[in-house]
Structure 1
Amino acid sequence: MADTFTETTTRSWSSRIGGSFKGILFGLVLIAVSFPLLWWNEGRAIDRAKTLAAGRDAVVSITPSPIDPANEGALVHLSGLATTRDQLSDDVFGVSARAIKLKRSVEMYQWTEEQGSKTTKNLGGSETTETTYSYERRWSDTWVDSSRFRQPSGHENPASMPYESQTAQAARVTLGAFALAARFVSQMDAFEPLNVAMSDRVPAGFSSHAGGYYRGSPASPQIGDIRVAFAVVDPMDVSAIGRQRGDAITTATMARGSIALLEPGLVDADAMFDKAETANRILTWLARLGGVLLMWLGFALVLGPLKVLADVVPFIGTLVGAGTGFIAALLALALGLITIAVAWVFYRPILAAILLGGAVIAILAALFRARRTTPQPPPPPQAT
């Protein structure tokens, strides 16, 4: 059952002004970081797109066995059953399985803190903040440091996690006659629960529960209780694209990047490249959005003192805040687009020149058409 604690604080106008001017420095840092982030992202996106395009043109689909020496050094695509003979073990709990991966998931019942606040502006520029801290008991796979709680008394957690989550990976995973490099194996994450039985190797205090182990009382969990579950990645059908090196499939190093693609199931090469290109586009737009948002936040902090100064009268401060927020958004959008455009000129000058030329032609054509369609004033009447 949750319990709460509420505190009310008031911050003076002068203190807020000082804080807002300190925010200018942080805002300038954010703005300075956003430019190289946007620039780097455009270069990364273009390099990745060219790498995938080169890979699509060069890839050769092969069978997983037997090995054809004629494809040595080639970028190859193959599908089949990925399997292993390795026996993976968890020495702490005495669990073992012949699998591609063996994962131990550990959770501890702990206190957690959440907070919510409501701020009210006061006439004169000060502001009053009411903060409510909520405490709940929850299962967490990471240690929660209760000493950092606003009200640690009565909400104490153990000093650490007695056991950590971990994943073991097979040293040798094969796809037909080929061994897959670790970079491919790391992409296999189709975990299935592994039910384990009690043994004399399980640490003292644990009992069998829900296919795993439990320390404490499952019917009535208490702070500090531990539950442990296991999962495995069993042999599975996969499709891979990489470089054929002897009897191994390794990462393919290209002129502008590398290729090591893996998909679950039997997937053809074109579909795998399609998915990789889609992932690249999504990442590109997310990074663009992140860079522009970073820039917007930076400009908002730089303009922040104007809003605080106007907060002497809360209503005026709200209007000024809306205005500075809009200005910050416009600046971020404009400078972000300019940065992206300049990066395109740098990384793709020919394409950028074509696009720029097309834009200029379109603008000139629109102006010419507008001029032709503008009605001309009638000539002045002739004197008689």
Structure 2
Amino acid sequence: MARKRKSKVSPGGIALWVALILLALAGMWAWQHRARVPAAVATIARELPAPAPSAGPPPSGADAAVAAKVGGKLVVRRPPRDARIGVSADAAVLLRVVEMYQWHERCELDGGACSYEKSWSPGRVDSGRFRAPAGHENPPAPFADARFVAGEIRLGDLVVDPKLLDAQAAKDYPVKESALPPNLAATFSVVDGVLYAGGDAAHPQIGTVRVRYRIVPAGEVELAGVKRGNKLEAK
């Protein structure tokens, strides 16, 4: 009687079957958890820190700011002008300085007696705060200090920021009566280049105003600032 021959499975065949079984199990797991994968990805994305916004490339060309010190002569295209009084000057900056003749109160300490005297003073002294305001009233000043700058100030090829001229020395600018418009020449008297309204220099009254001018000349300067394109600006 013939014996049945036993079939043998090679090791390579066993490995193939194991690989197929594992692949099938992996496919089943992926199918069962298909809804959880996007949720897990979204959770991870929420937990990660947001990327920092990009600062962009550093400025270059016309936008670049470079510290600079430039010397030379200022050139003014449109001189400054005090339109209210009609005074202009061939300068970089025109300053109006106003004082008014008014009452001042001087009181002794610890509620002692007060005395009242008249003198020139910048700004208005509030006579309403006096211990005895009656008969010592100071009127409001018709003008205040003001600063006027030229329409365009250049230093070589650079347009200069007027703020850079704040540290430059100013000098007195006497005004000539002939330089005033006719209507204001009737309002102001001019003594030694200073304008007076509401009284004269020799006999001022309470409320008399005197106006003098100072200028920052358009001369040789050395300015330190920030160069941005064709402009020299304050730091």
| Smaller-chain TM-score bracket | 0.5 to 0.7
Contact residue 197 and residue 212 of structure 1 kept, 8 A: no
2:217 is aligned with 1:234? yes
More strand as a share of residues: 2
Once the two structures are aligned, what percentage of the paired residues are identical?
A: 34
2:190 is aligned with 1:208? yes
Inter-partner Cα distance in structure 1 for 2:225 and 2:83: 34
2:144 is aligned with 1:161? no
Q: CA deviation at 1:142?
A: 0.7
- 1:202 aligned counterpart, secondary structure: helix
Counterpart in 2 of 1:184? Answer: 164
The amino acid of 1:222's aligned partner reads Q
1:31-110 aligned within 5 A: 73-110=65-102
Count residues in correspondence: 171
2:109 is aligned with 1:145? no
Inter-partner Cα distance in structure 1 for 2:150 and 2:78: 6
More helix as a share of residues: 1
Inter-partner Cα distance in structure 2 for 1:164 and 1:206: 16
Structure 1 residues 221 and 179: alpha-carbon distance in aligned structure 2, compared to 1, 3 A threshold: same
User: Equivalent of 1:136, from 117, 133, 155?
Assistant: 117
Inter-partner Cα distance in structure 2 for 1:178 and 1:115: 55
- 1:74 aligned counterpart, secondary structure: strand
Q: Normalising to structure 2: TM-score of the pair?
A: 0.64
- 2:113 aligned counterpart, secondary structure: strand
1:1-384 aligned within 5 A: 73-117=65-109, 129-158=110-139, 160-198=140-178, 199=180, 200-202=182-184, 204-215=186-197, 216-251=199-234, 260=235
Contact residue 93 and residue 203 of structure 1 kept, 8 A: no
Q: Normalising to structure 1: TM-score of the pair?
A: 0.41
- Structure 1: 5+ residue runs without aligned partners? 1-68, 118-128, 252-259, 261-384
Inter-partner Cα distance in structure 1 for 2:120 and 2:176: 21
Structure 1 residues 247 and 149: alpha-carbon distance in aligned structure 2, compared to 1, 3 A threshold: same
Q: CA deviation at 1:250?
A: 2.4
- Structure 2: 5+ residue runs without aligned partners? 1-60
Inter-partner Cα distance in structure 2 for 1:230 and 1:183: 19
Rg (Cα) greater in structure: 2
Structure 1 residues 249 and 205: alpha-carbon distance in aligned structure 2, compared to 1, 3 A threshold: closer
Q: CA deviation at 1:206?
A: 2.0
- 1:153 aligned counterpart, secondary structure: coil
Inter-partner Cα distance in structure 1 for 2:209 and 2:137: 16
The one-character-per-residue Cα deviations of 1:7-26 (angstroms, maximum 9, x if unpaired) are: xxxxxxxxxxxxxxxxxxxx
The one-character-per-residue Cα deviations of 1:212-271 (angstroms, maximum 9, x if unpaired) are: 2212132222111121112211112222222322211224xxxxxxxx3xxxxxxxxxxx
Inter-partner Cα distance in structure 1 for 2:225 and 2:200: 50
The amino acid of 2:73's aligned partner reads L
